[in-house]
Structure formats: structure tokens, C-alpha cells
Structure 1
């Protein structure tokens, strides 16, 4: 799915991935569940591009549906992997991730998705660049700002392209099938997750790309701010 002249979405049943085409090659944002690498490669080739031209892999967080194919994808080429420093030990297989604090309404969804069991970790992947808040990543002539958005995981990070007004939220924000934008679910710290959502709503965004749900391709800032207002109304209620 083409979102912009140089931005594409690889839609999966769980955990979308995105491709940015820059002047020096390709940047992949997230990798899908384990076993997704062939489908991502086929998607890249369908655009007349080469998987070997992926220069960077940006990971929004350590969960398997976003980092599950990262290790396999890094075998395609000499590419650099970027992730927040707080999630790096989990991505590299050195630590286990924190379990989420499930609300009553989230628990049945969790059990349906995971069969009541914690998900298996992704295959370890070496993180070449451990990001902190405000770090810049050059996407081949297009600067991307790493925005620390903890709460879903300790090291969740979104990537904001101020020039193109594009935001990749990972799982910090999601969109339901009916189009409603909500706070992402299964958070290790729901209060920090809500604050991270508010921070992203303050950015100047035209296109918002979520880890789950369809992107908002026009006027995303207004949509995100409205979602934050609804979040506040539910909290006060």
C-alpha cells in the first residue's frame, strides 16, 4: 500500500511494517512477526526495488510482532539496526521484557491473542545504534527524530519525520477497524503510555502510521488530539 511517493505500508494481520525510500536506499520500520521476512522481501521486489538495498531497520519496540523477523532481515545486506536503549537488552536476548499491566477489558483480548500465555521473544538481533530521546536518524536525506514514548514497553520509540510530517507510532497508538484512534493496548505502564500518546499528539503530523490499524493519511494531528481528548474524558469518567 503506497501512502506517499516514497512511503509504503506492508499490511500484516498482526504488526504492520513500513518502508521509506531515501536517496541512499531503503529504510524499514519494524519487521513483522517471525517468518515475515519473505513477504517483506516480496513486497519490496514488487515495487521494483531490492531487499539488498535496505540500509536501516528501525524498531519501535521489542515485541515479537514488530521485531520478530528483524534478525532474518539483517542477513539481506549490511544494514544498521536502530532501537531505543531501554529495549536493546531485550532485543539482543540479554533480558526478558516486562509483562503488561492488563485492564479488565484487555485481559480477554490478551488471552485470545496469546492463548493465555506470554508471547515468545523474537530471535535476538544486534542493535547497532541505541537511541535516546531526540536522536536523529538520517533516512537518506530525510531526517527522522527518535521520540521516546515509554509505557507500552520501557523503550518504545516513535519516529517523526518533521519535513514530511510523518509519524510512526509503533504500538503506542492504534486504530480500530471503525477508524477510531485509541491508546495502544497491553502497556507495561498505562499512565506513562497515556502521557506518551499526548506527547505525540503535540507534533505537527499529516500522516500517522500505526503498528495496528490503518494509517491516517490526512490531518493526523487533529485526529490524534481528538483521540487524546477522548482518552481524558474516559479517564475522568
Structure 2
């Protein structure tokens, strides 16, 4: 039996925004949702039989506000250290999700709502990740945190020998602008993305290391076969766009 369990914490309904509890000997909170989400995270801990002080680590997969939004509040409630990659750490300190290049009309429309530009309470990271981070010291004996850039420069993923991976927003599932609502297991591009080429490399690297079930921040989980189909579509989409630009 795997030494870990992954529990989805629904921050918004129908998978539109997910946080996670990574449960081993002690729980790790992975992402903290939008501002005001701390009560939902704490309630999920209680349902699993844990007190706030049992949390060993708060792991931030990347700097966007729907992932860092309640980091400061969850840190105050639990006393747990907050970990983020070095390339996204300054944004966490400022409570600012940083730049968000839209991937299409969905991202541009979402930006018009003002939701992605919300500010979070500033949160000082306690652990700035700059290399692979084993999770054994935090009570999850079989996990390792890897740098998987592309969605943001400092995006990270937690990978496990059984093929589970907590992959942030490298890919999402569902049909809404954010992901979620329906067809949660259908892989698609998130509304914002820094470097599509780096995303493909990161996803391919995770698959090559045995990732088979992707827990993501919106929708999901996604199975490896679906993620491979998603990766295969991306080069063709890129060629189509370039050809359309030349034709214009």
C-alpha cells in the first residue's frame, strides 16, 4: 500500500479550484486556494482527523493567486512552514500572482473579470526550493518535489513512486475558463501560461518518470493517456497558429 493519500479540498464547486491534503504520517497542505479559503482547508483537515498543528508543511505549486491566496492565513492557523520555488518566492512575499500571459480568449475574458489580479496577504516563505526536495522529513516518506517550469517559472510538482503527481496548473481538466464544471478528466490548456514549450518538457519529463495520475488545480484527476494526448495536440496547434499568422 502506498505510504501516502491525496485528498482533494474543493475551494470552488465542481473542481473549478482545488487544493489538496497530502497525507502520510503527517499532513502536507498543497496550495491554499483563493483569499478566504483557510476555513475550507482547516475543515478538510478536521474531517481527516487532524488538528491544525499536525500540518508539517504548506507547499505552493506556483505563484498565482488561486494557489497562494490563503497561504498566510493557513500558516497562521497551523504554524507550518511554507515552501515555494525560488523563482516564484518573491511573488508570494508580495502577495501578488505576477504576470499571467493568456493562452487564448478564455484567459483574456477571465482577466477582464479582475479575479486573477486579486491580491493575497503577503506571506514570507520559510523554505525556498532550488533543488529536488524529498518529502520524507515532512511525514510523506515516498514523495519528491521537482521543479517543473512552464506554467510559471517556479512551478513545482510532487511525484510519487505509484505514479501519482500533484502538478499544479501544468495542465487542467474541465470546460470552464478556470477548468472544472464538467468533463473533469479531459485535459486542456490553462487560461494562463508563461512558456508552452517548457510546459511540454515538464509534462513529458513527469510521464517519463512514471507519472500516471495527475492531480491538478482545476478539474482532474487526469490519467497519463489523456495527458499524452494533450501533449500531442500542442505542436499541431502551434504550427496552425504560426501558419495562420504568416497567411495573414
Verify same fold: TM over 0.5: yes
Q: Relative to structure 1, is the Cα distance of residues 114 and 16 closer, same or farther in structure 2, using a 3 angstrom cutoff?
A: farther
Deviation by residue 1:179-212 (Cα, 9 ceiling, x = unmatched): 3212333112233233323323323123210011
In structure 2, the residue matched to 1:222 is 225
1:232 aligns with 2:238: no
Tell me whether 1:197 sits opposite 2:203 in the alignment.
yes
Q: CA deviation at 1:51?
A: 2.1
C-alpha separation in 2, matches of 1:118 and 1:41? 24
Tell me if the contact between 2:4 and 2:24 (Cα under 8 Å) persists in the aligned partners. Answer: no
Cross-structure match for 1:208: 214
| Residues 22 and 208 of structure 1: CA distance in aligned 2, closer, same or farther (over 3 Å) | same
Deviates more, 1:64-73 or 1:42-51: 42-51
SS across alignment from 2:117 = coil
Unpaired stretches in structure 2, ≥5 consecutive residues: 175-181, 241-248
- Within 2, Cα distance between the matches of 1:165 and 1:127? 28
* Normalised TM-score (structure 1): 0.84
Query: Which segments of structure 1 move beyond 4 Å, counting only runs of 4 or more?
Result: none
Q: Give the root-mean-square deviation of aligned CA atoms.
A: 2.3
Contact 1:132–1:146, Cα closer than 8 Å, also in 2? no
Aligned mates of 2:193, 2:32 — CA distance in 1: 20
More strand by share: 1
Query: 1-side partners of 2:53 and 2:112: how far apart?
Result: 33
Structure 1: give runs of 5+ residues left out of the alignment. Answer: none
The Cα of 1:99 is off from its aligned counterpart by 2.0
Say if 2:18 is the partner of 1:16: yes
Shift of 1:124: 1.3
> How does 1:7-156 map onto structure 2 within 5 Å?
7-13=6-12, 14-23=16-25, 25-93=26-94, 98-103=98-103, 106-112=104-110, 114-115=112-113, 119-138=117-136, 139-156=138-155
The 1:116/1:43 distance shift into structure 2, 3 A limit, reads: closer
CA distance in 2, matches of 1:98, 1:136: 27
Structure 1: distance between partners of 2:124 and 2:190 = 26
Cα deviation for residue 41 of structure 1 reads: 1.0
Paired residue secondary structure (2:78): coil
Partner of 1:127, secondary structure, is: coil
Classify the secondary structure of the residue corresponding to 2:76: coil
| TM-score, normalising length: structure 2 | 0.81
Q: Using the alignment, how far apart are the partners of 1:150 and 1:209 within structure 2?
A: 17
Task: Report the CA distance between 1:97 and its aligned residue.
Answer: 5.0
Counterpart secondary structure, 2:109: helix
Q: Which has the higher helix share?
A: 2
Question: Contact 1:147–1:160 (CA<8 Å) still a contact in 2?
Answer: yes
Contact 1:142-1:161 at 8 Å conserved across structures: no
How far apart are the structure 2 equivalents of 1:227 and 1:132?
Answer: 28
Q: Does 1:172 align with 2:167?
A: no
Question: Are the equivalent residues in 2 in contact too, given 1:22–1:142 (CA < 8 A)?
Answer: yes
